Amino acid sequence: MRDVLPRFLDVEVKTSLLAILAVTSLLLLVAALRAIGAFLAIYLVQWVGNRVVLDIRKQAIDHLMHLSIGHYGQSRTGEVISRTMNDTEQLQFGAAAVLRDLVKQPFLLIFTLGYVFWEDWILALCSLVLFPTCLIPILIFGKRARGAARDRQERMADLMDILHESLYGIRVVKAFCGEEREANRFKAAAQSYFSAAMKARRAQSSVAPIVIFISAVGVCLALIYANQTGMAWNEFTAFLLALVLLYDPIKRLGKVHVDIQPILAGAERVFELLDTPIDVIDKPNATDMTQTPRDIVFERVCFQYGDSLVLKDIDLHVKAGEKIALVGASGSGKTTLVSLLLRFFDVTQGRLLMDGSDVRDYTMTSLRQHIGLVTQDTFLFNNTVAENIRYGNTDATQDEVEAAARLAHAHDFICEMETGYDTVIGEHGVRLSGGQKQRLAIARAILSDPAILVLDEATSALDTESERQVQLALDEATSGRTLFAIAHRLSTITHCDRILVMDEGRIVETGTHEELIAASSTYKRLHDLQFGIV
Ligand code: ADP
């Protein structure tokens, strides 16, 4: 017996150890599964949210890049940035916050509802009599949350707009001592954003407490009913527990309804942006412009921005290689006229023909490949000098880039930079003078080898020395190409084949410099004014 006992105990110990090990392994397995489940639940919901934002942002940038120049003339940059960045972000936050409850809570609600009715349907009805009253605060605060969230997003757009303006125009701000004014403008907008955000939060946070209070009233009603019917204490406790469990999904679903409103407000704003119609588009049967365009004909062309007629009955025939200059008071329609060539806008009446075909019959990309543009405000990307020049012709070799830079009289100053063509310029790069930037823009235009070159006040912002350099670059750039040059300084266009004088949307005079000077023309008056002859 003495021998047997220890052996038995041994067996006992071993068995129980095995059992414990089995149980603990099972426990660990369940815990591991639960941990994986918990991780996946959070991660997948976040994945869905982030993925939605990614897809919408991709759609937004495609849409934004295809909206016409006219659209950008009307909308605020900060507003567009805000819709693309902040409103999409709302969708992600919201999706993560409500998705799980939206899936889980209806199941819990149905399950607990079945249970309380099965337990005691009269008692269930008695306590659920207040259920519809929960809907009132849910609906009221939902509506309020939506309005406040939309307001908040609009205030965010204001913030972005002010920030963008103040930073973009920092030189003007400082020159006119506007630092404090701009800071105050931003602070006031930030304060409005704060108020709107808090209003939205107040609406969102009000639902749960109200539902909790209503559920307490429900419980009290059930308590009175149980007391009157002499219900057993343990039965009532079980029922009460079920009731508490029932109101929880109601509370959470109510919260989902309210929390979803800011997402809908964000979605509305994002979709308003995505639904903005693109007014300048390729026709379904548009063809590529494969040949180099030669003849350009404006045929009774009219153009209006909204209600204001800006170009009136423009008739113009330009032959390949002709150098056309456009002069006239500002606002007379010069920029609008050349914008039609690039199809930044489409004519509202008449036709613009290239080689006998309407420009609207060509695909925009193929049309624009034949046109180079150099404007007064040179835009350089935050990239290397070489990449900036290569922008219109990404396949160009280094030799071609350098050849274009030489023609644009830019090679020498580029070589003087520490890392030459690899120097990063643009926002965070080295500073370049206005003339140097302009010559890089000309090199960019030369490299894309356009048949038509449009110069919109390309030398207006330059000092005499820079202007001389840029003019030399332009003489090289324009040789052999059709040129449309808008010029404020008449000295830069005297050599043009034809000078068009514009006034209030019409071409009022046409001729060479000599012809227009010889006639007692508007051009002569402008010329005499500029050269101090009168
Ligand atoms: P110019 O180049 O001769 O200075 P524009 O072609 O820029 O003249 O402008 C012609 C007229 O069209 C002006 O009265 C100007 O106010 C108006 N305008 C220009 N751009 C827009 C726009 N995006 N939206 C509305 N009106 C515009």
Q: Quick check: CB of 335 below 6 Å from ligand 1? A: yes
Domain count, the chain: 1
**Phi, psi (degrees; rounded to nearest 5) at 372:** -105, 145
Q: Is 505 in the pocket of ligand 1 (CB under 6 A)?
A: no
**Closest ligand 1 atom, CA of 329?**
3
Contacts 24+ apart (CB under 8 A), 355-360: 355/291, 355/293, 355/294, 355/295, 356/295, 356/297, 360/283, 360/286
- What number of other Cβ atoms are within 10 A of residue 403's Cβ? 16
Reported as a single tens digit per residue, the pLDDT across 78-92 is 889 999 998 988 888
| 91 alpha carbon – ligand 1 mean position (Å) | 38
> Separation of 342 CA from ligand 1 center, angstroms?
16
Nearest residue (CA) to ligand 1, atom 16: 331
Q: What are phi and psi of 304, to 5 degrees?
A: -135, 140
354 is a domain residue? no
Atom of ligand 1 at shortest distance to CA of 330?
4
Atom of ligand 1 nearest to the CA of 502: 3
In short, whether 37's Cβ falls inside 6 Å of ligand 1 is no
Structure tokens at 168: 């973009």
Nearest protein Cα to ligand 1, atom 19: 336
| Backbone phi, psi, residue 108, to 5° | -60, -40
**What's residue 519's pLDDT?**
80
pLDDT in tens, 321-351: 899 999 988 889 999 999 999 999 999 999 9
Question: What tens digit of pLDDT does each residue of 174-201 get?
Answer: 888 889 999 999 999 999 999 999 999 8
* 70 within ligand 1 shell (Cβ under 6 A): yes
Closest-lying ligand 1 atom to the alpha carbon of residue 326: 3
Kindly state if the Cβ of 333 falls inside 6 Å of ligand 1.
yes
- In this structure, is residue 130 part of a structural domain? yes
Res. 465 pLDDT band, cuts 50 70 90: low
**pLDDT (average), residues 150-168:** 91
Angle value at C-alpha 242, between 240 and 243, nearest 5 degrees: 60
- Ligand 1 centroid to Cα of residue 434, in Å, is 24
Beta strands 506-511; 498-503: pairing state:
antiparallel
Q: CA-CA-CA-CA torsion for 419, 422, 426, 428, nearest 10 degrees?
A: -60
Does residue 406 sit within a domain? no
64 belongs to a structural domain: yes
Residue 500 lies inside a defined structural domain of this protein: no
Which ligand 1 atom is at minimum distance from the Cα of 311? 10
CATH code for position 27 = 1.20.1560.10
Rounded to an integer, the average pLDDT of 388-409 is 90
For atom 25 of ligand 1, the residue with the nearest CA is 305
Q: Which residue has the higher pLDDT, 523 or 534?
A: 523
Range with lowest mean pLDDT among 372-381, 403-412, 472-481, 483-492? 472-481
Cα separation of 532 and 534, whole Å?
6
Average pLDDT over residues 449-476: 76
Q: Could you tell me the distance, in angstroms and rounded to a whole number, from the CA of residue 327 to the centre of ligand 1?
A: 14
* pLDDT band with cut points at 50, 70 and 90 for residue 410: confident
Does residue 264 lie in a domain region?
A: yes
Domain that holds residue 185: 17-274
Question: Do the domain assignments include residue 157?
Answer: yes
How many whole angstroms separate alpha carbon 333 and alpha carbon 504?
7
Asked if residue 250 is part of any domain, the answer here is yes
Distance CA 336, CA 345 (A): 8
Instruction: Report CA(312)–ligand 1 centroid distance (Å).
Output: 13
Check if 331 has its Cβ closer than 6 Å to any atom of ligand 1.
yes
Mean pLDDT of 200-214: 87
Residue 162 CB partners (closer than 8 Å, separation 6+): 78, 182, 185, 186, 189
Instruction: For residue 329, give every residue at least 6 positions away whose Cβ sits within 8 Å of its Cβ, in sequence order, or none.
Output: 503
| Residue owning the nearest CA to atom 12 of ligand 1 | 310
Q: Which residue(s) pair with 453 in the sheet?
A: 372, 483
Ligand 1 and 310: CB distance under 6 A: yes
Tell me how many degrees the CA angle 271-275-278 measures, rounded to the nearest 5: 150
pLDDT for 1-37, tens place per residue? 555 555 545 555 566 888 888 889 999 999 999 999 9
Tell whether ligand 1 has an atom less than 6 A from the beta carbon of residue 75: no
pLDDT value for 342: 92
The total of other beta-carbon atoms located within 10 Å of residue 266's CB is 25
Average pLDDT over residues 129-140: 82
Q: Which ligand 1 atom is at minimum distance from the Cα of 70?
A: 23
Mean pLDDT, rounded, of the chain: 85
Provide the whole-model pTM.
0.75
Q: Write phi, then psi, for 483 (nearest 5 degrees).
A: -125, 135
Q: What percent of the chain has pLDDT over 70?
A: 93
8 A C-beta contact, residue 301 and residue 349: yes
